[in-house]
A = this chain, B = another copy of it.
């Protein structure tokens, strides 16, 4: 077991991470690895050494934001008027996250070949949070009880794919429709 890695290794990991973040913003999350390597001034071998699959790199870049989104769930639950409101607010956060990262939603699901790690990480972090909000809202009779957290997250993710260059499609509005459907046809009063 190595208590400390070499200095150049740590330095390069940061360099690659920063370069990847920059490239992702301009070219989307499936930018060529060579582009990231060039931007970082580093060989491709170095990237693959630190991040065995592209999914690992994406995870590393967005880990903080995913964690923040996960942490916001419980917070919203206590600060909102109802569990349903908390769920709605949390979904808004999730959608904002997906919409602002070009191509992330498309890669979030997709083939289980590569991106397995990415898929797994998102699910591991967010499904429990979503389930908590969903259960609380369902317990209060605010939403349908026949939709699972995984299913809801994937549905929302799917609605957010390919949103670039198309003004006629508003992912947020579609998610709004989905959430409205989740409420069922129950009356708004008690």
The interface of chain A, by Cβ under 8 A from chain B, is 106, 109-112, 146-148, 150-151, 154-155, 158-162, 165-166, 168-170, 173-174, 176-185, 188
Contact = CB atoms under 8 A, between A and B. Distances in A.
Contact of A159 (B159, B179, B188): B159
B188 A170 contact: no
Q: What are the 10 A-B residue pairs with the smallest beta carbon separation, nearest first? A: A180-B181, A181-B181, A177-B181, A155-B174, A109-B162, A158-B158, A154-B169, A150-B168, A178-B178, A158-B159
Contacts of A179: 181
Given A109-B161, A185-B188, A151 B173 contact: yes
A182 to B, nearest CB: 6
Nearest to A159: B158
Contacts of A182: 177, 181
A150 B173 contact: no
Nearest to A177: B181
Contacts of A177: 147, 155, 178, 181-182
